[in-house]
Structure 1
Amino acid sequence: MKTFLAKKGVSLSAHTYFVTALSYMALGLFSSLIVGLILKTLGERVEGLAFLTEIGTLAMSLMGPAIGVAIAYGLNAPPLVLFSAVIAGAAGSALGGGPAGSFVASVIAVEVGKMISKETKVDIIVTPFVTVTTGYVVAKFISPKISDVMVNFGELIMWATEQRPFVMGILVAALMGLALTAPISSAAIAIMLGLEGLAAGAATIGCAAQMIGFATSSFRDNGWGGWFAQGLGTSMLQVANIVKKPIILIPPTVAGMLLAPFGTVVWVTSNIPAGAGMGTSGFVGQIMTFESMGFNTHTFMIIALLHFIGPALISLVLSELLRKKGYIQPGDMKIDY
């Protein structure tokens, strides 16, 4: 069985499903739901761009198929399995599973499809039939239950954050920030959990702190190109350096933890699931914060202080202290971009 699975490219490992598949799911989400929300928001807010609302609504409605094909591509599915995964992803979303349902239905359908691919002389019929059917069955009987678990857990996090905004704000910011920098998708996690409101606001602060924090504290090693690559792209570029020297995680993580209470107790911030785990990547977290809190000067000032200025200053101070103590050396945060 191990030989057969290896030949088919099926790796029954946590890394495959919770790192690789989740990361590609995030790409599917960004290409449909998130970009759709951005377009829809622009269409509703900017005069003369109303047509973007229609485009955005269409993109958002195709979230399930986008997740399906993204996961299939990430798991190196052969063509017939990849194209059939569009249906599996759509079924996962349409039959009550939402994003989590699409993820589960797509992963299982793709892996089963890979195992059956090219095993018969009528592959062009058998492979899509098995892949689509598997995806539908999973979407019908399993995906909604998994989605309910994810949503209930998300609701528990949001309830706990509202009850204990100081402590839970710090915890949510730290964990979501670390998830953003780790090789998993904080965006996919936030959307599957359905994080919104206060918890989403704290998550956004934590994620933004990781990106702006790493961009600023590593400026000596990477310059402006590295600042933009990390600050507006992804702090995941530091993963290799973190493995070699975990201490470099301290400045951005502490920045997020220190700023989170300001967003949950002092200036009450909120966000929506599509923006909660995005940080400052492409300014999606900020656009969705405006969508949640309103387009006004107050929101702009909060975003500027808690998403950009605060993380930059705190991370810079802490990283310089660690440099003076000799814990961080030149080149420790050098990245390829």
Structure 2
Amino acid sequence: MKWLQKKGIRLSFKTYLLDGLSYMALGLFGSLIIGLIIKTAGEQFNLPFFEEMGALAMSMTGPAIGVAVAYGLKAPPLVLFAAAVTGAAGYSLGGPAGAYVAALFSTEIGKLASQSTKIDIIVTPFVTIAAGYSAAAYIGPFIADFMTSFGGWIVWATDQRPIMMGMLVAMLMGLALTAPISSLAIALMLDLSGIAAGAATIGCSAQMVGFAVASYRENKFSGLIAQGMGTSMLQVPNILRNPLILLPPTIAGMLMAPIGTTIWIMENNAPGAGMGTSGFVGQIMTFQTMGFTTEVMIQVILLHFIGPIVIALLLSQYMRKIGLIKEGQMKIHTGGSEK
């Protein structure tokens, strides 16, 4: 065990799921997501240069995932650079899940080989690429197929039971967005689409705007923007101290999701499903999926913003009134101790 630790290998749930998925999401955002945004802007405004730029960024998703995961696992330089190849192999053979598995496996094997011989510059990248390509070829496709099948079941179940499944998807994806894991990576690996992705977007949006308005008295305008357009993950330390602060945004998402699965049908794609209002990616992908129309704009405003804001604010105020949430318990980046 000491030898593994010396090589920078730490066998833990946190390392491989929490850290790994979080950095995978950064790789996705730096390639697929931003590429989709640029490409969509190019299509809507008839800018071929932006379309080509976005398409190029999207085509680099595999290498970006590989490097991001390797960086998150603190890989040595040669392993980090070779992970671009293993991520590309995993993505081509197994999609996002394949890229994640190939990068994870190759990084840890590459660490074992790193600095172990006098020809490290040859051995380390060779071992890393061989391990990653093997994982991509033999493991990645099975994982990708499972994730896709499981995501297909969620989509089917949401179509059959739109109220119950809409609430469940909104709750789980919303909690995943706020937790130190990646809702984006989950949505992409499950390949969520249709109204299931629409419900997930509502749940994720509710977490972000819900926490933003519920904690406004502590965090003011800067906190509103940081959480509403950045990430509700900023509240994780406060959630650990008082898990009850999760209730207002989570309930808001669960109440709004059935409206989006039955009355005003909301759809989205996998990249938009796990982003909420972060950079307004969830909304941009909603428009890309459903079209840029006045009707869709109204639905987005009501279901992604106004509805969750009103519910989360009223519920948080009531919880403050009866003492379930105390003053200062939703303060972010305090820089000092809290009582």
Give the TM-score band, short-chain normalised: over 0.9
Give the alignment partner of residue 309 of structure 1, picking from 306, 310, 323: 306
2: CA distance, partners of 1:229 / 1:116: 41
Aligned pairs for 1:2-13 (under 5 A) are 2-13=1-12
Note the alpha carbon deviations across 1:173-228, whole angstroms, 9 max, x for none. 00000000000000010001000101000000000000000000000000000000
Measure how far apart 1:121 and its partner are. Answer: 1.0
| SS in structure 2 at match of 1:232 | helix
Task: Tell me the residue number matched to 1:53.
Answer: 51
Corresponding residue of 1:154: 151
> Residue in 2 aligned with 1:282?
279
Give 1:233 deviation, angstroms.
Answer: 0.2
Query: Is 1:243 aligned to 2:240, yes or no?
Result: yes
Q: Does 1:103 align with 2:100?
A: yes
* Identical aligned residues as a percent: 62
Secondary structure at the counterpart of residue 230 of structure 2: coil
Distance in 1, Cα, partners of 2:243 & 2:20: 25
TM-score, normalised relative to structure 2:
0.98
Per-residue Cα deviation, 1:140-167 (whole angstroms, up to 9, x for no partner): 1110001000000000000000000000
Alignment coverage as a number of residue pairs: 334
What is the distance in 1 between the residues matched to 2:253 and 2:175? Answer: 10
Tell me the SS of whatever aligns to 2:121. Answer: helix
Instruction: Say whether residues 1:80 and 2:78 are aligned partners.
Output: yes
Give the superposition deviation at 1:335: 0.1
What is the CA–CA distance in structure 2 between the aligned matches of 1:106 and 1:287, rounded to whole Å? Answer: 29
Q: Which amino acid aligns with 1:80?
A: L
Kindly indicate whether residue 123 of structure 2 is the aligned counterpart of residue 126 of structure 1.
yes
Cα deviation, 1:23-73, whole Å, max 9, x if unaligned, reads: 0000000011111110110000013x2210000111101100000000011
* Residue in 2 that maps onto 1:184: 181
Q: Give the C-alpha shift of residue 94 in structure 1.
A: 1.3
Aligned CA RMSD, in angstroms, stands at: 0.7
Unaligned runs of 5+ in 1: none
1:44 maps to: 43
Residue 25 (structure 2) pairs with residue 26 (structure 1): yes
Q: TM-score, structure 1 length as denominator?
A: 0.98
Partner residue in 1 for 2:337: none
Q: CA deviation at 1:127?
A: 0.2
| Alignment partners' CA distance in 1, 2:81 and 2:91 | 17
Match among 329, 333, 337 for residue 336 of structure 1: 333
Cα deviation code 1:119-156 (max 9, x no counterpart): 11111110000000111111111100010000000000
1:115 to 112, 117, 139: 112
Unaligned residue ranges in structure 2 (runs of 5+): 335-339
Amino acid of the residue matched to residue 201 of structure 1? G
In the aligned structure 2, how far is the partner of 1:50 from the partner of 1:335? 42
